Structure 1
Amino acid sequence: MNDVLPDDGALWSAVESAAQAVFDAYGYRRIRLPVMERTELFSRSIGETTDIVQKEMYTFTDRSGDSVTLRPEATASVVRA
């Protein structure tokens, strides 16, 4: 997949709108997932000893001292929703 640059933005908006109309017609509703989650969500759901948790996640401590991770995949977030 390529990045969507400004020249292609209008076309992609039209495609997304058409897809959204189909989803709406069949009763699907949109969910929006956070880009960052508490690290424990992924450690608990994926497993603390997996390669994803140990090698592939970008984790940092936020200003309040919580361990936060950029979402490596969306399964845990979708299941929670």
Structure 2
Amino acid sequence: MLTKAPRGTHDILPGEAHAWNYVEGTIRDLCRRYGYEELRTPMFEHTELFHRGIGEGTDVVDKEMYTFEDRGGRSITLRPENTASAVRAYLENKLYGDQSLVKLFYIGSMFRYDRPQAGRMREFHQFGIEALGEENPAVD
């Protein structure tokens, strides 16, 4: 039916958008205080990124990804998480060249094909941080 959101998704209505904006603003403020910069990655990536980043044989890769072929025959996947995309962006854009430690954060929609149950959605929102370029675990 065209008058209902797809199963496992929901609209963020005007009455609740202010709460989302408050939470996201607080996250952005805290991250900036600790030297993290915002990164925005595409909502979809080449499927191979997740096979290599998350690992073949995991439930996420084998059962839970939204994967499709584009018109050019390339396998594309809606991002099920953002760590793999953040590392790809770090490497592709040579963010490691400016400094040894790069601190990134992201907020956004992620997608997993999961049978919707109480508290689980196919589109969900996730916040994460990545500290890249430093081997010392104390950075965490």
Q: TM-score range by the shorter chain?
A: 0.7 to 0.9
Give the corresponding residue for 1:58: 66
Query: TM-score if structure 2 supplies the norm length?
Result: 0.48
Question: Please, which runs of 5 or more residues in structure 2 have no aligned partner?
Answer: 1-9, 91-140
Supply the distance in 1 between the matched residues of 2:22 and 2:75 (Cα, whole angstroms): 38
- 5 Å-filtered alignment, 1:30-49, equals 30-49=38-57
- Identical pairs, percent: 54
Give the residue type in structure 2 aligned to 1:61.
Answer: E
- 5 Å-filtered alignment, 1:1-81, equals 4-80=12-88, 81=90
Structure with the higher helix share, 1 or 2: 1
Supply the distance in 2 between the matched residues of 1:22 and 1:56 (Cα, whole angstroms): 32
Question: Please, which runs of 5 or more residues in structure 1 have no aligned partner?
Answer: none
Structure with the higher strand share, 1 or 2: 2
Secondary structure (helix, strand or coil) at the match of 1:32 reads coil
Question: Would you say how many aligned residue pairs link Structure 1 and Structure 2?
Answer: 80
